[in-house]
């Protein structure tokens, strides 16, 4: 079978694994397809690496895979790289001593940003929470909600599935 068909099959299998909450297997399939140059797989593998979903959190590796996908004109990868760049700028500008409960404060700041219509800033706060605690249900749920409302169901599904897995709907 030609390698491009195998990479398409691995990519589709990775998506099916996400649908049932098997993130570790999804990572394996996405990695194989990504190494064959499949832009969609490079995007998903990068996002899973950045968020520590099905593998240890590794932002640098995730960014490298997103850049590969973006170099093939993968629109979501380009958008995510731009959002991550804005997130980094926003968080650097917001750097200040953390309060007693930094996660709760970050979550509240995200809600304030969302309420004011600044979803990119809200996403930056919630992703910062996930860097500190990947199982923070409120941040995961907020990200799923914002991505759903923004018309990005693939990204919303990643965060929703994480919530479901944590609360035990997926074993």
- Residue 63 tokens read as 């960014």
**Residue 144 dihedral angles phi and psi, to the nearest 5°:** -60, -45
Q: Which of 17, 39, 72 is the last residue of a domain?
A: 72
Rounded (10°) CA dihedral 113, 59, 143, 140? -120
Task: Give the distance from CA 166 to its chain's centroid.
Answer: 16
Does 40 map to a domain?
yes
pLDDT of residue 32: 96
**pLDDT, tens digit, 9 for 90 and up, residues 78-118:** 988 888 877 776 655 555 555 567 788 889 899 999 999 99
pLDDT of residue 3: 58
Rounded-to-integer distance, Cα 40 and Cα 46, Å: 10
pLDDT of residue 115: 92
Does 12 map to a domain?
yes
End-to-end alpha-carbon separation of the chain, Å? 34
Rounded-to-integer distance, Cα 44 and Cα 118, Å: 25
Tell me: do 61 and 100 sit in the same domain: no
Rounded (10°) CA dihedral 75, 19, 127, 105? 140
Does 146 map to a domain?
yes
**pLDDT, tens digit, 9 for 90 and up, residues 12-57:** 999 999 889 899 999 999 999 999 999 999 999 999 999 899 999 8
**pLDDT, tens digit, 9 for 90 and up, residues 109-164:** 999 999 999 999 999 999 999 888 888 889 999 999 999 988 999 999 988 888 88
pLDDT of residue 104: 86
Q: Show the domain range for 28.
A: 1-72
Domain count, the chain: 2
Coil vs helix vs strand at 72: coil
**pLDDT, tens digit, 9 for 90 and up, residues 60-72:** 999 999 999 999 9
């Amino acid at each position: 079978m030609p390698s491009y068909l195998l990479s398409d099959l691995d990519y589709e299998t990775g998506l099916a694994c996400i649908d049932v909450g098997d993130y570790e297997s999804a990572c394996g399939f996405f990695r194989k397809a990504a190494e064959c140059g499949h832009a969609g797989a490079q995007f998903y593998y990068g996002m899973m690496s950045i968020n520590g979903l099905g593998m240890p959190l590794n932002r640098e590796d995730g960014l490298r895979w997103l850049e590969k996908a973006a170099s093939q004109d993968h629109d979501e990868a380009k958008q995510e790289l731009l959002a991550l760049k804005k997130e980094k700028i926003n968080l650097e500008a917001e750097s200040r001593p953390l309060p007693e409960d930094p996660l709760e404060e970050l979550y509240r700041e995200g809600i304030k940003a969302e309420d004011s219509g600044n979803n990119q800033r809200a996403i930056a706060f919630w992703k910062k929470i996930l860097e500190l605690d990947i199982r923070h249900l409120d941040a995961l749920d907020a990200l799923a909600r914002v991505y759903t409302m923004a018309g990005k169901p693939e990204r919303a599904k990643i965060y929703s599935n994480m919530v479901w897995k944590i609360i035990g709907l997926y074993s």
